[in-house]
Chain A
């Protein structure tokens, strides 16, 4: 079973709009990672934020981490059709296994 949860489960927006996905987790983590998965493909690592960081940027991606609330958010600005994919968060724990959420399915409408 999943130990992390993404919210919403599905999100459909117009191209050019911003997309925000949230992730909550239950255990203590050393870092929080976000991945993207296109249909039928493997996961692609997007960004890693460590537990002592609060915000991190990479291109059109902005990730925040609130360890007191055990939550993270991923913001994709100026969305494009190519951003259509499922997005997963994964918490890095002290026992070295990534703890995965169930994913948010993002659809960008042209």
Chain B
């Protein structure tokens, strides 16, 4: 069974631009969660999607948005990029919603660098 796939693996952008990251969950998994990982703040929860609906949202500004498609694939978008958005963005999938009560399966992330 293929794991969680995130594309692209690396991305370099400049301030003010916008970016879209993609995540394909494990087949059969309908819940997708997104995290931002930085050395200073650690792993921060962005949002969780299940059946194309956002179920939970972390404490991030509205520049961070996401969506989920009918095939459970998910995208997250960051607009008006800032230097502080440089981070590893991780996607995790699970069979059911409620990411806190079951194991999460992670992709290898997208490394976003803002110049």
Chain A positions near chain B (C-beta within 8 angstroms): 1-2, 30-31, 33, 35, 40-45, 48, 88, 90-103
Contacts and interface: CB of A to CB of B under 8 A. Distances in A.
Contacts of A35: 104, 106
Contacts of B103: 33, 45, 48
Contact of A1 (B6, B41, B97, B99): B41
A97 B94 CA distance: 13
B101 A96 contact: yes
A42 B106 contact: yes
A42 B101 contact: no
B100 A45 contact: no
B90 interface: yes
Nearest to A47: B103
A108 B30 CA distance: 37
A2 B104 contact: no
